[in-house]
Structure 1
């Protein structure tokens, strides 16, 4: 696999297992995530499975998840 950078076509990550939240709707409005072999986390929009995929470190994802759980982003969906 080539070096992974943000905004890569998701096809480059064809050997990963994408998954989405059980809270996702059935109409394709889902965010999908995949663990990468180098420890990173890839994120893509299920409506556009061929990309782009964004790649984050585990620490970046942890910071986002903790912020979401703490309500820091609630204004985005209000």
Structure 2
């Protein structure tokens, strides 16, 4: 059985498409009770027989999914791909996709219901 953690709390969690992984979500989200409101990420098994030529066997992988549904697909990326994306986030390349204050308030109200 896998787990899910927000850096403060760890709970059992199993994604049917990526069993046994230990998922992490942003510390800004809650786990008690588990609020399903976030993108989740996990260290995945090393690549084996990946269909894309640029991902040879043994490549270290990262899985991303959505915690709102334990049957959500898991998307797999090499750690190099994930690093490039995370660096872009840190550099502000995706700031135009960030929620507005009003959208954040609306999301918090829905979660609180």
Give structure 1 stretches of 5+ with no counterpart.
1-9
Q: Match for residue 18 of structure 2?
A: 13
Number of residue pairs matched? Answer: 69
Q: Match for residue 109 of structure 2?
A: none
Give structure 2 stretches of 5+ with no counterpart.
1-14, 47-59, 101-113
CA RMSD of superposed structures (Å): 1.6
Higher RCO (C-alpha 8 Å, min separation 6): 1
Q: Match for residue 3 of structure 1?
A: none
Query: Among 9, 28, 49, which residue is 1:23 paired with?
Result: 28
Taking structure 2 as the reference length, the TM-score comes to 0.55
Higher alpha-carbon deviation: 21-30 or 31-40: 21-30
CA deviation map 1:32-76 (0-9, x unaligned)? 111112021000011122121111110111011100000000001
Taking structure 1 as the reference length, the TM-score comes to 0.77
Task: Answer with 1 or 2: which has the greater Rg.
Answer: 2
